[in-house]
Structure 1
Amino acid sequence: MALDRKIAYIDLTTGKIEIKPIPLEARKKFIGGRGLDAYLLYNHAPKGCDPLGPENPLIVSGGLLTATCASATSRTHVMAKSPLTNLLGSCNMGGFFSAEMAWAGFHHLVITGKAEKPVYLWIHNGEIEIRDAGYLWGKSCTDAQWAIREELDDQEIKSMVIGPAGENLVTYACVMTGIKNSGGRSGMGCVMGAKNLKAVACRGDMDVKIAHPVDALEHNKKFIEQITSAKVNQTQGTLGTPFIWGATNCWGGVRTRNFQYNQMLYADEIEPEAIDDIATETMGPHHMAGCFGCQVHCRAKYKIQTGPLAGKYDEGPEYTSLGAFGSEPDCKKAETVLSANHLVDQYGVDNLEIGSIISWAMELFELGILTTKETAGLELRFGNDAALIEMIHQICNRSSWLGGVLADGGIPASQTIGKNSFDYLIQVKGMNNLHSDERATPALALNIATASRGSDHLRSRPAIDLYHLPEKVLRKIYSSPIPYDGPLSSEHTEYVGKPWQVFWQENCYMAVDSLGICKYHTLFLGATLPNFEDWPEVIYYNTGLEFTPEDIWAAAERCNNLERMFNLREGLKRDDPFKGDTLNHRYFDEPCRRGAPDVVGRTIDREKFSVMIDEFYGHHGWDKAGVPTAETLTRLGLKQEPSHLV
């Protein structure tokens, strides 16, 4: 059955491999995926360890429901201490890899040590082998995957790889699988590069026994209907995630020219409909692709039509690519967005981070903080498409002084550049913000300030706050499975009640990531999509485990507290501008300049925001400094951590 999938401990220094079962107690307390990974990281990462050192464990996992009859459960999670933030590192990606890893016998890998030379892991039907990867080193993410298939003579192998950015220790390098599935945030590809680990390759045909297969299949039919009938998913199946960028830009919620504006003008060429036309023209009517077990198919397949990369195939671009390579640097050409999207997929680097840090450098250049002396003559100005593309190359290859500086991440770069460059860096905990602008949405601002891995739209964002849902509907959502009778507001510019929404969404997304489900199949963008009340049946039919909605909530809360405990242990402090639950001063001091009437002129109120953080901490059972109280740790069974249960 699904619960037979094992955990493997792999030491790349010694070559030792130890395979163990995952105790049922661990499943009940931490579920799997990201939740169990948080437990493993807290237990196996030494306090204060060097993110690029051999003692930093790289943890790779699938969720509890991965490779079962449940839809869209092939998310892969990767966790380690982050070389970008020196706090929690964590990323999540779609595709086919985690399902293949489960069929090969494993749900979790804990990889420590450092190989003397480049290696990759070959996992096949319960066996793990450390193989030479010298011939793969230097290859792009796509080429490396195809080369592994050729070497092992199996075109069905699924691999998780790094590209040149990871090899060159760019602190925000990705892990990748397939053409474009990227575990983008927090530099997990850099950790792999530091371990001389080029790839993890999997192939398996081991049975995954389903506890109640007929019921599981019948129940999944209902899930599919619930998921595909949602308008948000129908739109994604047509336009992909870029539709989110288009809607948000129209309203005035995307940061442009780093953080000078909150709406991109004259962006017709990169609007989602324009991108869809290009994908349709180059790939035909069936141009939308999906991950394993998914009915939504939210990403486009395309070929670049013009420029130096004309004819290159890729997938996407995602919502984030339109921001990173369109609105933030104020580049309006489809060729630029599609080419940059292709380059980051090949280099293996976080599109959000690299687009943001280049846009920051562009503002510094226009302010005179950076000059042509530092850029080696490059006119690093907003709207300079060629400069954007050139800086992607320079950062991923560390081929220039500025490229190397920016490859180290925003905070180290600001310390190297000096002057007042840090003031213009839009980051939380050392991780650059998504391209969205939260000055008109206090709930979303609270989300990015307090997210466990740094600025984040996928950790606790109450995106449905923008829908102006009636309070009665909000009450139904946010009072289950734990009763809540506090204030709620349908107004997205309001502050009251929002801390509970962020807290609720944080537990929801932890549960989603622990089960291995795609967020688009849960209450993320659609108020009618599955949440805590829907998951017990799908867990039971597929695994035989009995959870109540309250059990899942408790497990999610427990795992979120473990992530908090890890960050606190590694130096997080509430008001620390480098490692705290803070926002850049521009959120408070510079009003929005464009957009709808409910956006123009908006800033975040410092005093009200501080009260929101107090309330958010209170919902968690944390003190005013954001530290879990003894009572909270006792209630969640975390008083004895690290316990080394697994």
Structure 2
Amino acid sequence: MLHATGPLLTVDVGERTATETTIDDLLESYVGGRAAATALAHERIPFDADPFGPENRAYLSTGPLQQSQMSFTGRMNMTGLSPLTDGLVSTNAGGYLSRNFVSTGISVLEIAGESDELLAVHVTDQGVEFEEVPELEGATVPETSDYVAAEHDLGAEHCIAVGPAGENLVRFASVMTFDSRAFGRGGLGAVLGAKNVKCVTFDGDVEPPLEIPNPPEMDVHREAAQSDDQMRRQGTTGGTEFINENFSLPTRYFEEYEFEHAADIGGDAVEEKKYKKGACSACAYACKLPTRDEESGVETEGPEFETVYSFGSCQGVGDIVDVMKANELCDTLGMDTISAGVTVAAYLKSEDEFGNAELAQEITERIAYREGVGDALAEGVDRVHDELGVDNYTVKGMEFAAHDGRVLHGQGLSYAVANRGADHMYAGMLSLEYSGELDPEGTLGKAETLVEEENAAAFRDTGVVCAFGGDYVTDDRLEALFDADHEKLMDVGAETVRLERHFNNQRGFGRDADDLPYEIPDLEDAIEEYYAARGWPEGTVPDETIEPNAPSAD
């Protein structure tokens, strides 16, 4: 089976050491990306670790397809113990980082320890340099990129960085790359902030000795270039009005199901502000959204659908320029737009200020700096809802994505049981229910499909393949690319989900963690069906089934 190549590089920022470990056996079993990082995290992060403590570790990992030039492969995975959910979380970002990461010759970067000084870490194919950067304290993400360019002659595509939100341990702080691409969900930016790591750069000349089968690679690239999908013009915002009219676009902190200004913040509104094409590394699909408003001068990348929801309908804000401003603010300060937007929406509800975009942006900035009420809001909805007097719209501490489980019941089930909480990328139930391939009504009988979707998503994040490439990187092409039958690939995905669940079980996540803050039909029975399909009694993975497959941190 095709897998990533190269050693694990462990960087201890407290000790200022860099150590390479051969992990060929692990990569043969876990391929790369999310699966390899999860196996390492399960073995090397103590089950009782503090997410903000030096014992937590952050893993940046690539898959074998990042060693190719195939469309839909300009992405990377990041894994660690989440300050937001208190469980294991993986998230991925696009942009142009992956090829520069691969050029250093490693397959996984592990960041351990805790520095006494604010650091920039520079990884090359010749070694690792630790640079103290006190002058970057409080710097925004673009200011950090400007420093790296001026001092090291490296562009933003060579860098991951945290903004003020990460430094200030906002529990939903993002790790940013290329200034506008986010390892968004779960707060891994705060993990780097706790370690006093401001940025990490990657540069080298290593060309991995790997050949991707040419027919699938070239077919995918050609079809992506020739596609006329709406996604290429409007990104994920293209379905905004369809979802609003036929399902639910959560509005005014989930008080309503439909937003009267959906057309003003949806796909057409975004496309009107798009001023050029945008892509990720080596991708001919080019579905990104560089946007600009001439009158206000705001320029950003996006917003995508989730931000249209979180800073638009969820806050009662119906002006696309206001949503663009909020999107740019989150990118600049380094925060997940979903958790930030929903948390601000909860605050607006508590103050009876829905629709006040100016206040929303002010509160967003105060969160990043933990100023005034922003200090409490930086903890996220799960920890602040009582103080605000609002309902706790989270699962496992993670704020909900836009796709409403109250009307998409299979997606609601997915939110309830997902190891990382209310995240829409953990499984693909929403697309099946939007399309009518799966009846959105009801939860019973959907567990087997949910397991399949979770496994597929886990392998997608292992490869690493963009979620928007599903129509092009088909199952038969995956088999050809990875030189393995589909069942074997899905086994890798299943093992990844199992290791995540076991890790979380050891941290106290039990049957009661799989729940929703609202009622949908037969949820308890559907969860039992899911456990049965996974072979998990009461939602727990028996210790005797876990065999360490990763090298110990010792």
| TM-score for the superposition, normalised by structure 1 | 0.82
Whether 1:536 and 2:459 are equivalent positions in the alignment is no
Contact 1:45 1:55 in 2 (8 A): yes
Quickly say closer, same or farther: Cα 1:157–1:440, change in 2 above 3 A: closer
1:582 positional shift: 0.7
Counterpart Cα distance in 2 of 1:152 and 1:639 = 43
Counterpart Cα distance in 2 of 1:468 and 1:59 = 35
Deviations 1:574-605 (A, max 9, x none): 22xxxx11100xx22xxxxxxxxxxxxxxx12
Quickly say closer, same or farther: Cα 1:4–1:507, change in 2 above 3 A: closer
Contact 2:408 2:441 in 1 (8 A): yes
Quickly say closer, same or farther: Cα 1:583–1:154, change in 2 above 3 A: closer
Contact 2:290 2:302 in 1 (8 A): yes
Counterpart Cα distance in 2 of 1:70 and 1:394 = 41
Contact 2:73 2:281 in 1 (8 A): yes
Counterpart Cα distance in 2 of 1:645 and 1:49 = 14
1:185 positional shift: 0.5
1:150 positional shift: 1.2
Counterpart amino acid of 1:450? V
1:130-141 to structure 2, matched below 5 A, reads 130-141=130-141
1:535 positional shift: 1.2
Give 2:290's aligned residue.
301
Contact 2:74 2:96 in 1 (8 A): yes
Give 1:320's aligned residue.
306
Give 2:459's aligned residue.
511
User: Matched residue of 1:199: which SS?
Assistant: strand
Give 1:219's aligned residue.
216
Give 1:644's aligned residue.
552
1:107 positional shift: 1.7
User: Matched residue of 2:135: which SS?
Assistant: coil
Whether 1:583 and 2:516 are equivalent positions in the alignment is yes
Whether 1:627 and 2:540 are equivalent positions in the alignment is yes
- Corresponding residue to 1:399 among 352, 371, 376: 371
Counterpart Cα distance in 2 of 1:641 and 1:160 = 28
1:227-238 to structure 2, matched below 5 A, reads 227=224, 234-238=229-233
Contact 1:2 1:208 in 2 (8 A): no
User: Matched residue of 2:331: which SS?
Assistant: helix
Counterpart Cα distance in 2 of 1:411 and 1:492 = 27
1:162 positional shift: 0.4
User: Matched residue of 1:628: which SS?
Assistant: coil
Deviations 1:150-199 (A, max 9, x none): 10124476101000110111111000011311111000000000000001
- Corresponding residue to 2:247 among 246, 249, 252: 252
1:64 positional shift: 2.5
Counterpart Cα distance in 2 of 1:508 and 1:135 = 44
Counterpart amino acid of 1:318? E
- Corresponding residue to 2:432 among 465, 487, 501: 465
Deviations 1:399-457 (A, max 9, x none): 11x11000012222135x17xx36x1210001111133221211100111111111110
1:566 positional shift: 0.8
1:101 positional shift: 0.6
Counterpart amino acid of 1:220? E
Deviations 1:334-383 (A, max 9, x none): 221010011001000010001101111222233xxxxxxxxxxxxxx101
Give 1:593's aligned residue.
none
Contact 2:367 2:375 in 1 (8 A): yes
1:517-596 to structure 2, matched below 5 A, reads 517-522=465-470, 528-539=471-482, 546-575=483-512, 580-584=513-517, 587-588=518-519
Contact 1:258 1:363 in 2 (8 A): yes
1:226 positional shift: 5.2
1:143 positional shift: 1.9
User: Matched residue of 2:53: which SS?
Assistant: coil
User: Matched residue of 2:47: which SS?
Assistant: coil
Give 2:111's aligned residue.
111
Give 2:382's aligned residue.
411
Counterpart Cα distance in 1 of 2:272 and 2:211 = 44
1:10 positional shift: 1.0
Deviations 1:461-488 (A, max 9, x none): 3233225556xxxxxxxxxxxxxxxxxx
**Count of residue pairs brought into register by the alignment:** 553
- Corresponding residue to 1:382 among 312, 336, 354: 354
Counterpart Cα distance in 1 of 2:23 and 2:551 = 15
Whether 1:268 and 2:263 are equivalent positions in the alignment is yes
Counterpart Cα distance in 2 of 1:428 and 1:230 = 37
1:529 positional shift: 4.3
- Corresponding residue to 1:288 among 277, 285, 298: 277
Whether 1:617 and 2:531 are equivalent positions in the alignment is yes
Give 1:596's aligned residue.
none
Whether 1:494 and 2:460 are equivalent positions in the alignment is no
Contact 1:255 1:263 in 2 (8 A): yes
Deviations 1:94-126 (A, max 9, x none): 111122111111221111111111001111224
Counterpart Cα distance in 2 of 1:193 and 1:155 = 22
User: Matched residue of 2:173: which SS?
Assistant: coil
1:52 positional shift: 0.5
Counterpart Cα distance in 1 of 2:490 and 2:540 = 20
Contact 1:301 1:316 in 2 (8 A): yes
Counterpart Cα distance in 1 of 2:458 and 2:267 = 30
Contact 1:304 1:339 in 2 (8 A): no
Counterpart Cα distance in 1 of 2:232 and 2:144 = 29
Counterpart Cα distance in 2 of 1:157 and 1:226 = 26
Contact 2:78 2:183 in 1 (8 A): yes
Contact 2:32 2:63 in 1 (8 A): yes
Mark the structure with the bigger radius of gyration: 1
Counterpart amino acid of 2:399? N
Contact 2:66 2:102 in 1 (8 A): yes
Whether 1:430 and 2:430 are equivalent positions in the alignment is no
Counterpart Cα distance in 1 of 2:439 and 2:96 = 39
Counterpart Cα distance in 2 of 1:566 and 1:385 = 40
1:21 positional shift: 2.4
User: Matched residue of 1:106: which SS?
Assistant: coil
The range that moved more, 67-76 or 93-102, is 67-76
Counterpart Cα distance in 2 of 1:559 and 1:46 = 18
Two-structure CA RMSD over aligned residues (Å): 2.1
1:47 positional shift: 1.8
Counterpart amino acid of 1:330? G
Contact 2:298 2:324 in 1 (8 A): no
Counterpart amino acid of 1:644? S
Counterpart amino acid of 1:333? D
Contact 1:258 1:356 in 2 (8 A): yes
Quickly say closer, same or farther: Cα 1:468–1:242, change in 2 above 3 A: closer
Deviations 1:306-353 (A, max 9, x none): 4xxx32432111111101111000101122101001100100001000
| % identical aligned pairs | 25
Quickly say closer, same or farther: Cα 1:538–1:160, change in 2 above 3 A: same
